């Protein structure tokens, strides 16, 4: 018993070590359960130390043990905290008191109207509008008056209020600037507080366009982990922001931002918005009709020109859907379980989301994670699987646009080469190709033909590119050549 307990506690301590502080920008009463989950783990770690030490000394479990708590709240916002959730043997008689709090006001709530029972009470803290940072105060339960008081410390991290202009009912706004996602000149794409940059480990090729991606959530809302390969379960109000741009655009060699795509979650589901940037690069305007714009730029020193496609809503939906519901693609744990260089330092992206309160701290220890397919130090099979996952699986999965073809490209399905089309007959023959993938023979492999093709009716992916990704084609070739054996 003691051994098992110690192991559990050790694990808890490790997690707690990685996450010494759990933040939440702000939590309203309805999300209190989430908050409790979040603050529970490090406090358990604290308990672990006490318990291990106390065990040898004849620790008496019936003694009330109060454990410190932590919470996150935005300026001018109020949070309710069940400080007893991580305490042990909370007495059902006595009185709860709190010390004076700075930078805001503190109240004790008795939601069940049980004045003699403190165990169901909550502590409510409202931060003022002047302070950012940590405030601490203590809470105590006393047997009568001030006798035999036992308590702990409550740390509250007061964060800035995200200045994003959030009025979901008014979405989509006419102009990108209306959201106030960015500080200073919008073209600099410097996010305001709460607009968190992210980057999938492997990315979709879209005619060499560069991308900046951000995620934002409303105060008090957070996502939950479900599976490594499933989208994070993101709350209503979540906004994903993705800006497409080119560097070294000719003639002047400047940066040109073309478009910023949004997908945001309403109570009824995800919706798209699309903003096309003006020539002055000062504003982007809502336009879901789709458009073309010519771009000439230097790609690794070589001049290239394409007729860049800005997608219409229906094109967004073609890839971002399951049945009739729009969905994001890249916000799966397997895609963002990697380090990112934030302004305040390098951090794992999932842990960063936990730290700022965007993600519930219930991540498993083992997250099946893709690799960057461009990383030539990685095994070729893993590169191939990671490439097709982010470039192909959004159509070649159940209930998606091309679910009827006999391939399955999601990362969690491609350990089996059959799902990659190896020795699988195509249902639409394209002579002289014989199978979707023929080991060692790119000249008869439909998959190679399609990733190598620029013809609109043959190329894969179908949408998002008009030219081939030479690096990807070379990788696919290497992968096919790495396969051995012959098809029946």
Partner 1 sequence: MKKIMLSILALTTVGALFAQDSAGSVDPVSFSFSSVSTSGSNRAVVDMNGDFLDDIVSISSTNVNILEQQPDGTFVTRNISTSSANYTPSWSLAAADYNRDGYTDLLYGGGSGVTFMRSDGTGNGFVEVSGPEFVFSQRSNFVDINNDGNMDAFVCHDVAPNVYYINDGTGALSFNQGGLGDYPSGGNYGSVWIDYDNDGLLDMFIAKCGGEVARRTNQMHRNNGDGTFTENGASIGLADPMQTWSSAWGDFDNDGDMDVFVGASSGAHKLMRNNGPGSGYTFTDVTAVSGVLAVTATGIENATHDFNNDGFLDIASNGNILYGNGDLTFTTISFGAISGSNGAFGDLNNDGFVDAFNSGFIRYNDGNANHWLTINTVGDPSNINGIGARIELTTDAGTQIRDVRNGEGFRFLSTLNTHFGLGTATNINTLVVKWPSGTVDTFEDVAVDQVLTIYEGQPLSVEEQTNEVALTVFPNPATELLQLDYRTPLNDAQYNIYNLNGALVQSGTVGNKTINVAALATGAYVLKVETNGAVINKQFLKK
Contact positions vs partner 1 (CB under 8 A): 289-290, 292, 309, 312, 314-315, 317-318, 321, 323-324, 399-406, 427-429, 431, 455-457, 462-463
For the record, the structure tokens of 202 come out as 């492997």
Largest CA distance in the chain: 90
Between 14 and 425, name the residue whose CB sits nearer to partner 1.
425
Between 213 and 261, name the residue whose CB sits nearer to partner 1.
261
Query: Residue 41 and residue 44: Cα distance in Å, rounded?
Result: 5
For the record, the structure tokens of 228 come out as 């490594």
For the record, the structure tokens of 140 come out as 């105590």
The DSSP letter of residue 111 is T
For the record, the structure tokens of 211 come out as 């991308």
Closest approach of Cβ 322 to partner 1, in Å? Answer: 9
DSSP, collapsed to helix, strand or coil, labels residue 471 as: helix
Closest approach of Cβ 462 to partner 1, in Å? Answer: 8
DSSP, collapsed to helix, strand or coil, labels residue 274 as: strand
Q: What angle do CA 408, 414, 418 make, to 5 degrees?
A: 70
Q: Which residues contact 293 (CB under 8 A, 6 or more apart)?
A: 258, 307, 308, 310
- List phi, psi (to 5°) of 8: -55, -45
Using alpha carbons, list the distances in angstroms from residue 368 to 177, 330, 410, 467.
37, 15, 12, 31
Closest approach of Cβ 311 to partner 1, in Å? Answer: 8
Between 1 and 455, name the residue whose CB sits nearer to partner 1.
455
Closest approach of Cβ 84 to partner 1, in Å? Answer: 48
Closest approach of Cβ 428 to partner 1, in Å? Answer: 5
Closest approach of Cβ 441 to partner 1, in Å? Answer: 19
Closest approach of Cβ 288 to partner 1, in Å? Answer: 9
Query: Residue 352 and residue 369: Cα distance in Å, rounded?
Result: 17
Between 70 and 395, name the residue whose CB sits nearer to partner 1.
395
Closest approach of Cβ 290 to partner 1, in Å? Answer: 4
Between 138 and 312, name the residue whose CB sits nearer to partner 1.
312
DSSP, collapsed to helix, strand or coil, labels residue 345 as: strand
Q: CA nearest 383: which of 276, 451, 474, 302?
A: 474
Between 222 and 452, name the residue whose CB sits nearer to partner 1.
452
Q: For 226-359, where are the E strands, in sequence order? A: 239-249, 254-266, 269-277, 284-286, 289-299, 302-312, 321-322, 325-326, 339-342, 345-348
Per-position b or e across 146-168, b if 16+ CB within 10 A of its CB: eeebbbbebbbbbbebbebebee
Between 9 and 319, name the residue whose CB sits nearer to partner 1.
319
Between 100 and 324, name the residue whose CB sits nearer to partner 1.
324
Question: Is-contact 288 276, C-beta < 8 A?
Answer: no
Between 56 and 457, name the residue whose CB sits nearer to partner 1.
457
Return the number of other C-beta atoms located less than 10 Å from residue 279's C-beta: 6
Closest approach of Cβ 175 to partner 1, in Å? Answer: 21
| Element containing residue 219 per DSSP (H, E) | none
Closest approach of Cβ 329 to partner 1, in Å? Answer: 16
Return the number of other C-beta atoms located less than 10 Å from residue 441's C-beta: 17
Closest approach of Cβ 316 to partner 1, in Å? Answer: 10
- List phi, psi (to 5°) of 177: -65, -20
Question: Is-contact 241 215, C-beta < 8 A?
Answer: yes
Q: What angle do CA 134, 135, 140 make, to 5 degrees?
A: 135
Between 211 and 405, name the residue whose CB sits nearer to partner 1.
405
Between 230 and 398, name the residue whose CB sits nearer to partner 1.
398
């Amino acid at each position: 018993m003691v051994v098992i307990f110690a192991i559990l506690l050790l694990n808890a301590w490790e997690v707690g070590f990685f996450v010494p502080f759990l933040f939440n920008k702000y939590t309203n009463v309805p999300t209190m359960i989430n908050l409790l989950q979040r603050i529970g783990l490090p406090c358990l770690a604290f308990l672990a130390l006490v318990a291990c030490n106390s065990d040898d000394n004849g620790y008496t479990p019936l003694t009330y043990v109060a454990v410190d708590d932590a919470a996150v709240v935005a300026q001018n916002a109020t949070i309710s905290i069940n400080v007893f959730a991580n305490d042990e043997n909370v007495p059902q008689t006595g009185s709860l008191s709190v010390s004076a709090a700075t930078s805001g006001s503190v109240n004790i709530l008795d939601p069940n109207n049980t004045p003699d029972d403190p165990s169901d009470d909550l502590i409510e803290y409202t931060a003022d509008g002047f302070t950012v940072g940590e405030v601490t105060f203590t809470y105590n339960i006393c047997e009568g008056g001030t006798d035999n008081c036992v308590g702990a410390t409550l740390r509250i991290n007061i964060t800035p209020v995200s200045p994003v202009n959030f009025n979901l009912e008014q979405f989509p706004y006419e102009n990108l600037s209306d959201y106030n996602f960015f500080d200073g000149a919008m073209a600099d794409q410097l996010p305001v507080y709460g607009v968190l940059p992210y980057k999938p480990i492997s990315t979709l090729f879209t005619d060499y366009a560069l991308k900046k991606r951000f995620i934002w959530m409303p105060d008090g809302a957070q996502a939950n982990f479900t599976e490594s390969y499933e989208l994070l379960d993101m709350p209503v109000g979540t906004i994903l922001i993705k800006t497409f741009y080119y560097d070294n655009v000719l003639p002047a060699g400047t940066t040109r931002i073309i478009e910023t795509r949004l997908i945001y979650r309403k109570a009824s589901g995800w919706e798209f918005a699309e903003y096309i940037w003006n020539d002055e690069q000062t504003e982007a305007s809502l336009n879901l009709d789709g458009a073309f714009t010519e771009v000439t730029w230097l790609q690794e020193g070589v001049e290239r020109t394409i007729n860049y496609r800005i997608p219409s809503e229906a094109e967004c939906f073609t890839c971002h859907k399951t049945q009739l519901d729009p969905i994001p693609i890249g916000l799966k744990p397997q895609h963002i379980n990697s380090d990112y260089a934030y302004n305040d330092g390098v951090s794992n992206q999932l842990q960063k989301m936990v730290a700022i309160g965007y993600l519930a701290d219930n991540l498993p220890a083992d997250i099946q994670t893709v690799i960057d397919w461009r990383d030539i130090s990685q095994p070729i099979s893993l590169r191939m699987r990671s490439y097709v996952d982010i470039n192909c699986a959004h159509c070649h999965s159940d209930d998606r646009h091309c679910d009827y073809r006999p391939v399955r490209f999601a990362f969690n399905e491609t350990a089996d080469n059959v799902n990659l089309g190896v020795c699988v007959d195509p249902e639409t023959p394209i002579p002289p190709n014989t199978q979707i993938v023929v080991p060692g023979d790119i000249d008869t492999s439909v998959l190679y033909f399609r990733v190598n093709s620029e013809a609109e009716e043959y190329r894969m992916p179908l949408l998002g590119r008009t030219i081939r990704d030479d690096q990807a084609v070379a990788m696919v070739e290497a992968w096919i050549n790495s396969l051995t054996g012959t098809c029946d």
